[in-house]
Amino acid sequence: MKKFLDFFESIVKTLITLVLIVVIIALVVNAIYPLGYRDEIEKNSNSMEISPYLVMALINIESKFDKNAVSDKGAMGLMQIKPDTAEWIAENMGMPYQHMSDLVTPAINIRMGCWYLNYLMKEYKDVNYALAAYNAGMGNLDEWIKNGLEIKEGDYSNIPFSETRHYIRKIRSQAKTYETLDKIYARKNEFFTYGIEAFNWVKSFVKDKVNK
């Protein structure tokens, strides 16, 4: 009986350790790859025919999902839109825009940001060029293209601004991570079921041993 109790104790300790590991991993992942305003992101990215994971990554890099974020250059909100750019976007979208304070409203900021990203995708026909324009500005990108810039998939070394090089690389990488995390999240009920089954197996095993 003592051997059995020792064995059972080791199983319980192992299960507790595994649960703690999963919780710690979940907390770390959530800190590195936070996610908020999912409904707004999915609604606007779908309507603009762009990847929601790209938008999630862009928001994480731009503002870390802080709706009140303001950069030293005056860009505001989740997708870090400058007030003058917001006026231009609103005019082209035909949407009401009263004041720069509107940019801290997630629904407005995400709608504008997704529209602008879609506009850049159509303008440059490539996600890397669109991200370069989002970060460095269309004026800079147009000048670089005029001087012979070519951005190849996975190779951003010839982009003049180091910030823009790192910006594109991080967003493309994080977009893939968000997609992977989304697939895992979609299967959370399946993982939960496995956990319940494992618990029931242990309970049944213990009951069987005790009855013996």
Look up 62 and say whether it is catalytic.
yes
Would you state the structure tokens that stand for residue 85, as one six-digit string?
């750019």
Q: Is 37 helix (H, G, I), strand (E, B) or coil?
A: coil
| Crossing angle of helices 138-146 and 106-124, rounded to 10° | 10
Domain 35-183 = CATH 1.10.530.10 = yes
**DSSP assignment letter at 146:** H
Domain boundaries, the chain: 1-32, 35-183
Residue 168 near residue 152, CB atoms below 8 Å: no
> 82-104, pLDDT tens digit by residue?
999 999 999 999 988 888 889 99
Residue of 62, 91, 123, 197 marked active site: 62
Of 2 and 42, the structure prediction assigns the larger pLDDT to 42
Which pLDDT value is given to residue 137? 96
H helix or E strand, kind and range, residue 44: helix 38-47
Question: Is the pLDDT at 188 greater than 70, yes or no?
Answer: no
Tell me the C-alpha distance between 39 and 161, whole Å: 34
> 11-27, pLDDT tens digit by residue?
666 766 765 665 566 56
Tokens 């649960």 correspond to what residue? 19
Task: Please report, to the nearest 10 degrees, the dihedral formed by the alpha carbons of residues 91, 96, 99, 101 taken in order.
Answer: -110
Q: Is the pTM of this model over 0.85?
A: no
Tell me the C-alpha distance between 56 and 169, whole Å: 14
